[in-house]
Amino acid sequence: MIIDRIENARQYLNVHPLMGKVLDFLSRTDLAGLPLGRHEIEGGRLFLLTARFDGKGRSGARLEAHRKYIDIQISLDRPDDIGYKATDQCRLVSEPYDDEKDVEFFSDAVESWITVVPGSFAVFFPADAHAPLAVDGQVHKAVFKLAVDGK
């Protein structure tokens, strides 16, 4: 997991082959002004989802993990609390892995919490189970999805 300010994102260029494309997109796009939905950047290798989500509070947020995609989550209008636990430490599968949706859910307790404020980002790799939307009220978010293998 990585959490940092967007202005520091260039130091993570070597984390993934598509990170440069993410940063280029960020530099020329007003994420908050995009229509809600899926935005293709590099086909199935890299795309962006924008949505307004209803927060679930910390008690309602569920740990999830992905195998095919890395998430880069950005809160656009208000802070989002996100729970964390290493995926290999999750023992209580509440919904088995769905290959089509690339998600698995766990009912394990969250190990720690982070707050992603507007102007910052959080990166979640397959090793990082995360429980987003652990706030009350609605959150406008952008989530970049990067294919794990870069292909």
- Closest by CA to 3, choosing from 108, 103, 124, 92, is 124
Q: What domain range is 17 assigned to? A: 2-147
Looking at the structure of the chain, the number of domains it has is 1
Q: What is the CATH number of the domain that holds 104?
A: 2.60.120.370
Alpha carbon of 13 to those of 4, 9, 129: distances in Å? 13, 7, 23
> Hey, is 60 helix, strand or coil?
helix
Neighbours of 68 (CB within 10 A): 15
Taking the C-alpha atoms of residue 39 and residue 49, their distance in angstroms, rounded to an integer, is 6
Say how many Å lie between the first and final Cα of the chain, rounded. 21
Q: What is this structure's pTM?
A: 0.95
Q: pLDDT value at position 149? A: 86
- Closest by CA to 72, choosing from 16, 137, 110, 136, is 16
For residue 110, give the DSSP letter: P
Q: pLDDT value at position 151? A: 59
Along the chain (151 residues), what's the average pLDDT of each consecutive run of 10 residues? 96 94 95 97 95 96 98 97 98 98 98 97 98 97 93 59
Which residues, in sequence order, are CB contacts of 60 under 8 Å at separation 6+? 134
Q: pLDDT value at position 150? A: 66
